[in-house]
């Protein structure tokens, strides 16, 4: 055996090829299989360093990718591809992260913490000017929104821009069919119960949208009326307890989609939503509920024999004292909350007793998680 042959024998040692992939030893001692398509598509050279996007197009390979030769060299797997003038070099540490189909760790995947009526004193609080200049504060703010689903921001400037610049710290303003902003005060010709002085039952906003906005901001600009206390509840706390108390009802509300609507002169928005929202693991993620936007339920009437009582049991449970946090939002405060999780409402107030003005807007949850990851993690491309 000459020197070259010895070298080749050593290089292919421990990497075995099968028609669709190859098996190699990883530093932890495991023998691990990788698919040829995955390997070819994810060659480190497939990604453009400037755009950070994949620039390689696997659809244009003339035939399925197949290694002509593969070997371990130092801490890397090296492949020369058959029919291509291309060599791929993969750090074994990268391959180890993808060896068993475990989803990539997500720093924004925080465990939800259920809260109850006594949460007001524990609610995370921030200052708008501090959030504007301090990324570390923004990190804590988003963590509160991921974990508790609610936080209060104080020291708000008494102007429209104060709300816009706050919301833009975690995402883009997300319009709905009401526009980019909404003003909650008594209107002469209201198109929405919120624009009257009546009590507003606990609800999530705009369930008639295909995908209701994720994060809601309510900036209190004035509040000197009698009554009108703010009500907030944690849909995760209620739905988790409902799951234990009423498993059959929970099954119906988490599996059967019901219609929501919002209709007036120039719009006719409709969607179907499940009242209890589950995440990919089957855990309660949130709720979608609104008495004033629930359409006539167009499901088989016999199904409603079971659905409606369960819906009512859940709706009454949502209003139980142990779940409802009551307080008065003061001028200069902005409450920020997860609109797919936190239900909100208000007591009736006397319109003639003073001024009450809340200006609101939304951003989306995915953008908030993106902002969080960008602030706390290295991602795949940061040097
Ligand atoms: Fe609302």
What is the whole-number distance in angstroms between the Cα of residue 114 and the centre of ligand 1?
A: 21
Whether 222 shows a pLDDT value over 60: the answer reads yes
What is the whole-number distance in angstroms between the Cα of residue 243 and the centre of ligand 1?
A: 25
Whether 160 shows a pLDDT value over 80: the answer reads yes
pLDDT digits (tens, 9 = 90+) for 132-155: 999 999 999 999 999 999 999 999
What is the whole-number distance in angstroms between the Cα of residue 215 and the centre of ligand 1?
A: 12
What is the whole-number distance in angstroms between the Cα of residue 180 and the centre of ligand 1?
A: 14
What is the whole-number distance in angstroms between the Cα of residue 345 and the centre of ligand 1?
A: 7
What is the whole-number distance in angstroms between the Cα of residue 311 and the centre of ligand 1?
A: 20
pLDDT digits (tens, 9 = 90+) for 247-258: 999 999 999 999
What is the whole-number distance in angstroms between the Cα of residue 197 and the centre of ligand 1?
A: 13
What is the whole-number distance in angstroms between the Cα of residue 205 and the centre of ligand 1?
A: 5
What is the whole-number distance in angstroms between the Cα of residue 193 and the centre of ligand 1?
A: 9
What is the whole-number distance in angstroms between the Cα of residue 303 and the centre of ligand 1?
A: 29
What is the residue whose two structure tokens read 């509840």? Answer: 233
What is the whole-number distance in angstroms between the Cα of residue 35 and the centre of ligand 1?
A: 49
Is residue 170 within 8 Å of 141, Cβ to Cβ? yes
Is residue 154 within 8 Å of 126, Cβ to Cβ? yes
What is the whole-number distance in angstroms between the Cα of residue 293 and the centre of ligand 1?
A: 11
What is the whole-number distance in angstroms between the Cα of residue 195 and the centre of ligand 1?
A: 10
What is the whole-number distance in angstroms between the Cα of residue 326 and the centre of ligand 1?
A: 15
What is the whole-number distance in angstroms between the Cα of residue 360 and the centre of ligand 1?
A: 9
pLDDT digits (tens, 9 = 90+) for 257-316: 999 999 999 999 999 999 999 999 999 999 999 999 999 999 999 999 999 999 999 999
pLDDT digits (tens, 9 = 90+) for 347-371: 887 777 778 899 999 999 999 999 9
**pLDDT score for 190:** 67
pLDDT digits (tens, 9 = 90+) for 60-104: 999 999 999 999 999 999 999 999 999 999 999 999 999 999 999
Percentage of the chain beyond pLDDT 70 is 95
What is the whole-number distance in angstroms between the Cα of residue 16 and the centre of ligand 1?
A: 60
Is residue 240 within 8 Å of 115, Cβ to Cβ? no
Q: How confident is the model at residue 177 (pLDDT cuts 50, 70, 90)?
A: confident
The per-residue pLDDT of the chain, averaged, comes to 92
What is the whole-number distance in angstroms between the Cα of residue 164 and the centre of ligand 1?
A: 18
What is the whole-number distance in angstroms between the Cα of residue 85 and the centre of ligand 1?
A: 60
What is the whole-number distance in angstroms between the Cα of residue 97 and the centre of ligand 1?
A: 43
**pLDDT score for 228:** 81
What is the whole-number distance in angstroms between the Cα of residue 104 and the centre of ligand 1?
A: 35
What is the whole-number distance in angstroms between the Cα of residue 344 and the centre of ligand 1?
A: 6
Please return the burial class of 204, using the count of CB atoms within 10 Å of its CB with bins 0-12, 13-18 and 19+: buried
**pLDDT score for 1:** 35
């Amino acid at each position: 055996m000459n020197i070259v042959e010895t070298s080749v024998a050593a290089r292919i040692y421990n990497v075995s090829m099968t028609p669709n992939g190859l098996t190699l030893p990883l530093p932890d001692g495991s023998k691990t299989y990788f698919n040829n398509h995955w390997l070819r598509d994810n060659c480190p050279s497939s990604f453009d360093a400037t755009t950070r996007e994949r620039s390689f197009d696997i659809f244009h390979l003339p035939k399925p990718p197949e290694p002509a030769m593969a070997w371990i060299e130092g801490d890397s797997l090296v492949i020369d591809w058959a029919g291509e003038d291309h060599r791929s070099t993969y750090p074994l540490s990268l391959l180890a992260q993808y060896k068993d189909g475990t989803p990539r760790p997500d720093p924004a995947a925080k465990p939800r913490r259920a809260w109850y009526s006594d949460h007001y004193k524990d609610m995370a609080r921030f200052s708008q000017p501090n959030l504007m200049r301090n990324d570390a504060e923004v990190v804590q703010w988003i963590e509160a929104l991921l974990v508790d689903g609610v936080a209060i921001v104080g020291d708000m400037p008494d102007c429209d821009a104060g709300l816009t610049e706050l919301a833009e710290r975690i995402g883009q303003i997300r319009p709905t069919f009401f526009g980019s902003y909404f003003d909650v005060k008594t209107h002469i010709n209201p198109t929405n119960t919120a624009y009257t002085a009546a009590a507003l039952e606990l609800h999530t906003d705009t369930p008639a949208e295909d995908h209701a906005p994720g994060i809601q901001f309510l900036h209190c600009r004035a509040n000197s009326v009698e009554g009108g206390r703010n009500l907030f509840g944690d849909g995760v706390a209620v739905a988790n307890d409902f799951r234990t108390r009423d498993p059959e009802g929970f099954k119906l509300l988490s599996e059967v989609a019901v219609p929501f609507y919002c209709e007036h002169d120039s719009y006719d928005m409709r969607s179907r939503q499940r009242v209890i929202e589950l995440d990919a693991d089957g855990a309660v993620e949130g709720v979608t509920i609104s008495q004033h936007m629930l359409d006539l339920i167009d499901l088989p009437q016999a199904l409603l024999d079971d659905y409606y009582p369960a819906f009512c049991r859940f709706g009454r449970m949502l209003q139980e004292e142990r779940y409802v946090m009551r307080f008065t939002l003061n001028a200069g405060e902005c409450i920020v909350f997860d609109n797919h999780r936190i239900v909100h409402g208000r007591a009736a107030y006397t319109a003639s007793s003073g001024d009450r003005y809340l200006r609101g807007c939304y951003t989306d949850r995915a953008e908030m998680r993106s902002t969080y990851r960008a602030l706390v993690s290295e991602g795949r491309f940061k040097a």
